Chains A and B, each alone.
Chain A
Amino acid sequence: MLMEDMSEGGCLVVSLKEKRLDAVIAASFREAMVARIDQGQRNIVLDMSQVSFMDSSGLGAVVYVLKHLGHSGRLHICGVTPGVMAVLKLTRMDRVFKTFDTRQAAIAA
Chain B
Amino acid sequence: MNSHEPLRLVVPATLLDVRAATERIVGLCDRFSTEDRADYATAVMEWLVNVVKHSYAHAPGAQIRICAIAGAEAIELMVEDSGEGMLPWKFEAAPSELDFDATDISRLPESGMGLAIIKSVMDSVRYHSDAGVNRLTAVRRWQR
Q: List chain A positions with a Cβ less than 8 A from chain B.
A: 20, 22-24, 53-57, 59-61, 63-64, 66-67, 70-71, 82-83, 85-87, 90-93, 95-96
Contact = CB atoms under 8 A, between A and B. Distances in A.
Interface stretch (B56-64, B81-89, B112-120): B112-120
Contacts of B39: 86, 90
A67 B105 contact: yes
Contacts of B100: 92
A87 B41 CA distance: 10
Contacts of A90: 39, 42, 116-117, 120-121
Interface string B33-77: 011001101100110010011000000000000000000000000
A77 to B, nearest CB: 15
Interface of A is mostly: helix
Contacts of A96: 102, 105, 108
Nearest to A96: B102
Q: Lowest 4 CB-CB distances: which A-B pairs, in order?
A: A86-B38, A95-B102, A56-B113, A60-B110
Contacts of A93: 102, 108
Contacts, number: 85
A24 B102 contact: no
Nearest to A90: B117
Interface of B: 15-16, 19, 34-35, 38-39, 41-42, 45-46, 49, 52-53, 97-98, 100, 102, 105-106, 108-111, 113-114, 116-117, 120-121
A56 B53 CA distance: 13
Nearest to B100: A92
B45 A60 contact: no
A55 B120 contact: no
A30 to B, nearest CB: 9
Contacts of B105: 66-67, 70-71, 96
A70 B108 CA distance: 12
A83 B106 contact: no
B118 to A, nearest CB: 10
A63 B19 contact: no
